[in-house]
Each structure stands twice: as structure tokens, then as C-alpha cells.
Structure 1
Amino acid sequence: MNLLFLWRTYLNPQHILNTLGAIGYFCAANNIYIDAFNNYISAFTIYIGAIKYSFGAFNNYVEAIDIYIAAIHIYIAAINYYCGAIYNYTVA
């Protein structure tokens, strides 16, 4: 290989600048891709957090229903006790 061939193909300053520019664009594109991926991960994390909060609210709703049902049972038990007291009073 002669020196003129090397100069025309590889050692040409314009070719070196073009290569460096291409590497720079490649790195910039990779950074944009990584940023987009990080944003996607962040959005996915926020979505998972929203689902967890949704399930937490649903669990609170279910617990409130359970407490309400328990209160109804206590109320029914009180009515039964009251009716039993009335019955005992009537029988006595």
C-alpha cells in the first residue's frame, strides 16, 4: 500500500472529521435512545404505582364494606338480644 492511497482513504482530514462526526451522531443517538428508555421505565414505574394505589383504594373499599357488614351483624345481634329480652319479659 502506498502512502497516497492511505492519504486518500484513511488519513484524509475530511475523512477523519466525517468519521468523528458519525461517531458523535451515533453517541448522541444512543443517548437519546437511553433517555427515551429511561423515560419509558419512569412512566412504567408511575403506572405500576398507580395500579398499586388503585388496589390500595380497592382494599380500603373492601375493608369498609367488611366493617359495614360487621356493623350490620352487630346491629342484628342487638335486635335479636332486644327481642330475646322482650320475649323473656313477656314470658316472665
Structure 2
Amino acid sequence: MAIIVIVDLPGVTKEQYLANHANIHAAPWWPAEGFISHAGAPSDGGWLVVDLWESKEAFGAWMEKAAPIFEDGGFPRVEPKIYEAVNVDIG
């Protein structure tokens, strides 16, 4: 079942987010299996990320690969909020 992943990143700047995004997309394993879509936006005091994934397992496998990039980028360790998606419409 598809999932929605919401991550609120306190203290993260637009510049940090954009650099991290570029590093993820430069990784040899990108695009990640099970990835559907991504959006990022400024939030109160940080940055908000919303992703769609085909499953919790796909997201978990990606997080294992992406964690070092987040750490190198100075991102805080936060627990994502994960919800089962009822409808996923693309395009």
C-alpha cells in the first residue's frame, strides 16, 4: 500500500534543503525503487518535506541509503510521520 511521508525539519534552511536534494539525485541509486513523488516547502523555523512511496519497505530501504547524505548535510534526526495513502493520483 502506498504511503505518505511527512518530515518537519526544524532549523533546516532552503540552501541546506536544495544541496541535500541535489546530493540525493546525484547518488548512483537514484531514482529509488518505490519512489512516487516529492515536495519541499519552507515551514515555521525550518523545512517541510512530503513524499509519496509505494510502501513502507521501499521508504525504509531508501532511508538506509540516504541517511549518510542527511547526516553530512547537517539535518536533524527526526521521526517522519507516515500515513497510508487512500488515493494516489499522478498528473
Q: Which has the larger radius of gyration?
A: 1
What's the TM-score, normalizing by structure 2? Answer: 0.20
Report which of the two has the higher share of strand: 2
What's the TM-score, normalizing by structure 1? Answer: 0.19
